[in-house]
Amino acid sequence: MNIKKPMGIAKLAFLFLVVPTAFCSISRAQAPVFEVTPVESTIKFDVKASVPIAGKFDKWDATLKFTSPELSTGVLDIKIQAATVDTGSGTKNGKLKSKDFFDVQENPLITFHSTKVTQTGPDTIEFDGDFTIRGVTKQEKLTFTITGKGTGSGTIAGTMAFDRKQYGMNSGIPFIKIADRVEVTVDLKGKRVSGPPVNLK
């Protein structure tokens, strides 16, 4: 009669260490991995005013991460260095960096962290998330149009609008009438560097 010997403690420990690691590696390999190309991407803003106020941010970082091919697992993070605002005017830049607007000394970053992503059409998706500016966080929505779907590279270009006064930007600029609504345009170009494509309808 064959008697099976109990598995040694060392072997059990080895299995507990190796199997989860291997499983995690497989899971990561099955998730799409994207890289955003900052050189070919832009983040701009525009405010209707008696004197045009529009510009861009020179330094920022954006990541789009997934834990599986399902779109619902996607998380978009955008971090903007507020002090890099560029309107083409030193006077306007200085005013926007001040305490009346971005308050860059106390709040150097403007951020967006998505909490939900939904496909709204064949080539459109929406990210709901936490938008933070001047240390104030509120729920906002970024609506994107996708180009290059299924090719492994392309762009997601979208907009978000918010009321500046809800974030404590109540002041104006002398001799300039400024609207409350601010429109942000996010144009991100990237490519899938590994993993399967994202499941889109």
pLDDT value for 8: 54
20 vs 123: CA distance, rounded Å: 37
Q: Tens digit of pLDDT for each residue in 21-70?
A: 444 444 445 899 999 998 999 999 999 988 889 999 999 999 999 999 99
List strand residue ranges (DSSP E) for the chain, in order: 33-36, 42-49, 53-57, 60-65, 75-81, 85-86, 109-121, 124-133, 136-147, 153-163, 178-194
Q: What are the pLDDT digits (tens) for 82-106?
A: 999 999 999 999 999 999 999 999 9
pLDDT at site 176: 82
Strand, coil or helix: what is 17? helix
Domains of the chain: 32-194 (2.40.128.110)
CA distances, 199 to each of 14, 24, 57, 153, 169 (Å) = 36, 21, 32, 15, 40
What is this structure's pTM?
0.83
